[in-house]
Amino acid sequence: MHDPAGRDAIVVRQAFTPSVNLQAATEVICSRTPTQIQVFKQHYYSRFGTHLEHDVESHTSGDHKKLLLAYVTMPRYEGMEVDRATVEMDAKALFKAGEKRLGTDEKTFIRIFSERSRAHMAAVSAAYYNMYGNSLKKAVKKETSGFFELGLLTIVRCAENPTKYFAKVLHKAMRGLGTDDTTLIRVIVTRTEIDMQYIKAEYLKKYRKTLNDAVHSETSGHYRAFLLALLGPNH
């Protein structure tokens, strides 16, 4: 029933207390635009009397913590223009910080992923592939792990195509034995007013099944009826 920013604040706060769900916190923070983050930070403080940064500091650790803190504090450009020279420079820097060397220079990954705009990161991802014949996402998977890896992948996937990213998250939540209901609810409720029709189209394209059918087969009763009502018509 809350507006999107208020909802994000609640989801992240719940993800930090009492049983910590760092996947949810990472997904929400790393998939939002700088403007969305600024607004939900204000909601967070007015609702819970504590700064988002303080809770990130308390509940996360290592490179994951550094990435999230940088991501929620750095102002990023939100336009579509990119500077080709900087894009190539960043692609080279990431290659040098990861695949080219023994071990990983995490600082470079954190700096580039938290400071650059979405359009810029999408261009870096394409340039990386053109220059080194390997995808930036594969490099991230190879060079990093855990929630730090999840944060970096979320940033790059949302830079390339946020609706494809959320289709993937939903598919993963319903794959295999049992359903990850927390994720299913979170994504459907938070994206319904934003880009759900596009997510449904991506889901159908990628998994050859409508999202409505997938949700229908994984849920039941009033819960199923409610989620399907949020998803809208099955086409």
pLDDT single digits (tens) 167-218: 999 999 999 888 999 999 999 999 998 999 999 999 999 999 999 999 999 9
One domain for residues 192 and 217: yes
Provide the residue range defining the domain that includes 41: 4-69
Residue 152 lies in a domain: yes
Last residue of a domain, one of 134, 160, 186: 160
In the predicted structure, residue 18 carries a pLDDT above the cut 90: no
Last residue of a domain, one of 126, 143, 160: 160
pLDDT at site 193: 87
Residue 125 lies in a domain: yes
One domain for residues 89 and 153: yes
One domain for residues 105 and 57: no
In the predicted structure, residue 122 carries a pLDDT above the cut 90: yes
Q: What CATH number is associated with residue 29?
A: 1.10.220.10
* Domain total in the chain: 3
Quote the percentage of the chain above a pLDDT of 90.
95
Residue 164 is encoded by which pair of tokens? 């494809």
In the predicted structure, residue 149 carries a pLDDT above the cut 90: yes
pTM of the full structure: 0.96
Query: Residue 210's closest CA among 196, 222, 221?
Result: 196
